[in-house]
Amino acid sequence: MATKIYIKHGSGTPTGEDIAGPGELAIDIQNKIIYTKDLSNNVIMLGADISSEVIDWSQLDNIPTEFNPADHEHDYTEINDGAGKDLATELADILQHLTNIDTELGTLQGQLTFGGTVDMSTNTITSTTTAADNAGFSAGTIPSPPPVGSENIYFITEKAGDFETHTYNSGDWLISEGNDGGWSGVHFDTTVSVMWDEVGGKPTEFKPEAHVHDISDVTDLQDSLDAKADLSHTHVIADIDQLQDALDAKASASTIMGGTY
């Protein structure tokens, strides 16, 4: 197609009727902008450096009908993670991970039995449950290897330290694999931090505001008070051990005043 040049002096963007199709040019002389049509028959601008030229709002495609754009919603199938993975797949993966975790926890719960606590700074068992007692454990030095038949009894570390070349932090688990298997450990991440907003039941101010408690709020306080005598009270002579005997051994005040010696 031969090139047709249509000159439009200072009137802005040419209309669709001004350019028949691709290959024809329209020149805005005043603003120094050249226009043509693309293969979809849309008017487009040529030769403009958008970093230095002012682009008119009307020249932009797919602009919102208002600014800021009106509130709107998207179906989750329209959202992806930036790498082409849609939200529905992400949610399915998350749910599958949660299901796997629940399964693993259920398996652990069915296999492991709480046996008590250990102090890894001294390599001692500090407390035992009935299950641990029945499996042959007792308070004292951690046995190595553990007792026969004690598989899956676990102890929680209350004080950090080393045991059998491994370091245990507070909260880690020491698990018996039985006499043939020795000991294994579950080591939890000690770098996890909890934000203030995630703490429940915290006071509304620091230090906590002044407050009082009823006697019933303090364990065993009423029983302790019931066992105490009133501040102002009296006793009869019979309530005091050996007081009557001590009095009987004393001279009468009336006899002494009368001059009998």
What per-residue confidence (pLDDT) applies to 1? 41
In this structure, which long-range contacts are made by residues 169-175, counting pairs with CB atoms below 8 Å and at least 24 apart in sequence? 174/118, 174/120, 174/142, 175/112
What global pTM score does this model have?
0.36
What per-residue confidence (pLDDT) applies to 245? 87
pLDDT tens digits, one per residue of 184-231: 888 876 555 666 776 667 777 776 777 788 888 888 888 888 888 888
Q: Among 22-26, 30-34, 241-245, 253-257, where is mean pLDDT lowest?
A: 253-257
What contacts 222, CB < 8 A, 6 or more positions away?
215, 216
Residue 47 pLDDT greater than 90, yes or no = no
Binned at pLDDT 50, 70 and 90, residue 45 comes out as: confident
What per-residue confidence (pLDDT) applies to 139? 94
What per-residue confidence (pLDDT) applies to 105? 64
Binned at pLDDT 50, 70 and 90, residue 2 comes out as: very low
SS3 176: strand
The most confident of 24-38, 66-80, 156-170, 227-241, by mean pLDDT:
156-170
In this structure, which long-range contacts are made by residues 18-23, counting pairs with CB atoms below 8 Å and at least 24 apart in sequence? 19/43
Beta strands in 25-80 (DSSP E): 25-28, 33-37, 43-46
Work out the average pLDDT over 233-246.
Answer: 86
Domain boundaries, given as residue ranges, for the chain? 5-59, 90-212
What per-residue confidence (pLDDT) applies to 132? 93
Token pair 């102890």 is found at 155
148 or 48: whose pLDDT is higher?
A: 148
Mean pLDDT of the residues in the chain: 79
* Dihedral class, residue 253 (left if φ above 0, else alpha if ψ from -120 to 50, else beta): alpha
What contacts 227, CB < 8 A, 6 or more positions away?
none
Which pair of tokens denotes residue 15? Answer: 């209309």
